[in-house]
Chain A
Amino acid sequence: MKTDWNSYLALHLESRFMSETDRKTRKIYYSMGEVSEMFDVNPSLIRFWEQKFSILKPEKNKKGNRLFTQQDVDNLKLIYHLVKENGMTLAGAQKRLKENREGLERNLEIIERLQSIKTLLLEVRQELKEAEVRVDEIRVDADSSNEWPEDNDALEMMESAASGSVSPSVATTAQPETSRQEESMSAVTTETPASLERGSGPQSFRPQEQPLFPEYVTPESAITTGESERSAEGSIASEKVSGTSQGEDAVSLDEDPTVGKRMQIIEQTLF
């Protein structure tokens, strides 16, 4: 019998070692303390948002403490994204939530996916770097040492793909379109600035938490399981990106002709 090791390990390892996270996501209620910690904001801000956004209505226990469901947390994510990350006014955010909630959710999911791919790529690069150092130690052959700058380019491109910004080389042509779609653009593309900043300094970048076997199985396995599946990674990424274009006000990253090419370059450079 042929063992499917991916699911075997998922069953026996991931469930075991990610059980705390799992438990959290499966938990029925979150307390105010947990929620405010999750978003790193004051409880007062969440109470304020609760007044302002009708979609946010946590239950309360007998003592009057708020009990947030997963749905409440998801709603908070959207509000946080619009108000804190995009700097929208409360009225603007309310309107957006009413008009196109689905599109917003999709965008958030895409951003999260791209960020996790970026983290993964940075991790891969780190490992490649370590391998390179070893190779250098073994063969003192100076010729192969100028490969890393290319790799940096690839990661910068990845970052700009993830953030939806336009790479310097095509900035002039793409600029007008960018400003026309400014509002919708920001809805899709804004990342937590802090995480981007960290990302742009690859030397200092260390994902805070590196789960041994990350949950996002598809890109992970595409990269780590070998040559035959490598091309799948690119197509997954572009599939996700093209998903964006279906959202009415979503910025379609795949309309940007450079994205596909970037993906290709990233793949070629990394592997």
Chain B
Amino acid sequence: MKVKEVAALIEQFAPLTLQETYDNSGLNIGSYEAEVTGILLCVDVTEAVLDEAKALGANLIVSHHPLLFHPLRQLVDADDAQRIAARAVREGVSLYAAHTSLDSAPGGMSFCLGEWLGLTAMRVLDPRPDCPDAGFGVVGELTNPMPMRDFLLQVKRTLSVGAIRHSDLCRDQVQRVALCTGAGGSLIRKALEVDADLYLSADLRYNDFFVPSPSMVVADVGHFESEYCAIDLLYAIITKKIATFAVHKSEHSINPVNYLV
């Protein structure tokens, strides 16, 4: 099976047309015609992940974040992206990223996280005008209302978050939860519009915690933590069909953020 066939499989779930204009999902490095010897799944492509791929004999790395996100002006060893890009080319490893295409796809990242956290009746939080089934974020319901604090602690455990930053716990109970994986500060207003009790996302800024409503709590569960489900989602998509070579979940795809508690 060739790289392009794996790409087609992923794109059937998460078409590249769903990616944002600033994004660079798709094949970043390598060849569509290369025969795949194995696949390694990760959130970020790092040197450690490249080492891991080499050790596993995998020549295709599928990541959530594209290595080439900001355009390169030169290919020297000035920074990590350049070093890794050059190494991938040298070692014949193809790098494929499913980033905002996987975020926006129906059943994509936020659905996946919602599923993990036990949300039901999920729908897209910010539907795309051209494709209402797709878009960033979801809003869904917990089967039974539960104390806000207990739910946040449960999220912390489920996602192994070092610490959750949150606004004032102005609600005792939570049932309707809106969430968006990755940096989703811009969707707070959307969460208010759907009357969510709680909005979960990552990379929230200081001012985001001044929620302009006394009825919703916002919480930052960490970028990596909210997006780790990408690995399981990609694994499910790819292994549903491919059986002729191994698909590995990276053990070296780790959170660059550490918590001192």
Q: Is the CB of B243 within 8 A of A3?
A: no
Q: B residues 97-152 with Cβ under 8 Å of A?
A: 106-107, 111-112, 115-118, 133
Question: In the complex, are the beta carbons of B236 and A9 less than 8 A apart?
Answer: yes
Nearest residue, chain B, Cβ from A129: B244
Complex Cα spacing A124 to B244, Å = 9
Q: Do A9 and B240 touch (CB < 8 A)?
A: yes
For A107-132 the 0/1 string (1 means CB < 8 A from B) is 00000000000000000100110110
CB distance from B257 to the nearest CB of A (A): 24
Contact present for A16 and B107 (CB under 8 Å):
yes
Q: Is A39 part of the binding interface, using a Cβ–Cβ cutoff of 8 Å?
A: no
Look across to chain A and name the residue whose beta carbon is closest to the beta carbon of B243: A224
Say if the beta carbon of A216 comes within 8 Å of chain B. Answer: no
Main secondary structure, interface of A, reads helix
Q: Which of A1-44 contact B (CB under 8 A)?
A: 1, 3, 5, 8-9, 11-13, 16-17
Q: Which of A1, A130, A213 contacts B158 (CB 8 A)?
A: A1
B137 → chain A closest CB, angstroms: 15
Indicate the size class of the contact surface on chain B. Answer: 20 to 34
Q: How far is the CA of A128 from the CA of B1 in the complex (A)?
A: 10
B107 & A127 in contact (Cβ 8 Å cutoff): no
B14 to A, closest residue via Cβ: A13
Instruction: Provide the bound-state CA to CA distance between A12 and B111, in Å.
Output: 9
Within 8 A of A (CB), among B1-55: 1, 9, 12-13, 35, 37
Q: What chain B residues lie within 8 Å of A213 (beta carbons)? A: 240-241
Task: Find out whether the CB atom of B240 lies under 8 angstroms from the CB atom of A3.
Answer: no
Cβ of A180 within 8 Å of any chain B Cβ, yes or no, is no
Q: With A13-B107, A16-B106, A127-B1 as given contacts, are A1 and B117 in contact (CB-CB < 8 Å)?
A: yes
Instruction: Report the bound CA distance from A9 to B115 in whole Å.
Output: 12
Residue in A closest to B239 when the chains form the complex, CB atoms: A224
Q: Are B117 and A127 in contact (CB under 8 A)?
A: no
Question: What total of chain A residues lie within 8 Å of the partner, measured CB to CB?
Answer: 20
B237 proximal to A (CB < 8 A): yes
B240: chain A residues at CB < 8 Å are: 5, 9, 212-213, 224
Minimum CB–CB distance for A8 against chain B, Å: 6
If A3-B115, A3-B116 touch, does A127 touch B244 (CB 8 Å cutoff)?
A: yes
Residues of A within 8 A of B111 (CB): 12
**Are A13 and B13 in contact, with the CB atoms below 8 A?**
yes
Contact indicator A3/B241 (Cβ below 8 Å): no
Nearest CB of A to B35, in Å: 6
Instruction: Answer whether residue B91 sits at the interface, using C-beta atoms and an 8 A cutoff.
Output: no
Contact mask for chain B residues 176-198; partner A; CB cutoff 8 A; 1 contact, 0 none: 00000000000000000000000
Q: How far, in angstroms, from A130 to B9 measured CA to CA in the complex?
A: 17
Contact of B35 (CB < 8 Å), options: A11, A16, A127, A134 = A134
Q: How far is the CA of A236 from the CA of B37 in the complex (A)?
A: 32
Does B210 have its Cβ within 8 Å of any Cβ on chain A? Answer: no
**When the two chains form their complex, are residues B9 and A212 in contact, meaning their CB atoms are under 8 A apart?**
yes
Instruction: Tell me, in angstroms, the Cα distance from A8 to B243 when the chains sit together.
Output: 20
Nearest chain B CB to A32 CB, angstrom units: 33
Residues of B within 8 A of A9 (CB): 13, 107, 236-237, 240
User: Is B232 part of the binding interface, using a Cβ–Cβ cutoff of 8 Å?
Assistant: yes
Closest to B117 in A: A1
Q: Determine the distance from Cα of A87 to Cα of B236 in the docked complex, in whole angstroms.
A: 46
A-B contact pairs, 18 of them (CB 8 A): A1-B115, A1-B118, A5-B236, A8-B115, A9-B13, A9-B107, A12-B13, A12-B106, A12-B107, A13-B13, A17-B12, A127-B244, A130-B1, A130-B244, A134-B37, A212-B12, A212-B240, A224-B241
Interface residues of B (CB under 8 A from A): 1, 9, 12-13, 35, 37, 106-107, 111-112, 115-118, 133, 158, 232, 236-237, 239-241, 243-245
| New contact pairs (9) apart from A3-B236, A127-B243, CB-CB < 8 Å | A3-B112, A3-B115, A9-B107, A9-B237, A16-B107, A17-B12, A131-B245, A213-B241, A224-B240
Identify the 8 closest CB pairs spanning chains A and B, nearest first. A12-B107, A5-B236, A131-B244, A127-B244, A224-B243, A3-B115, A1-B116, A213-B240
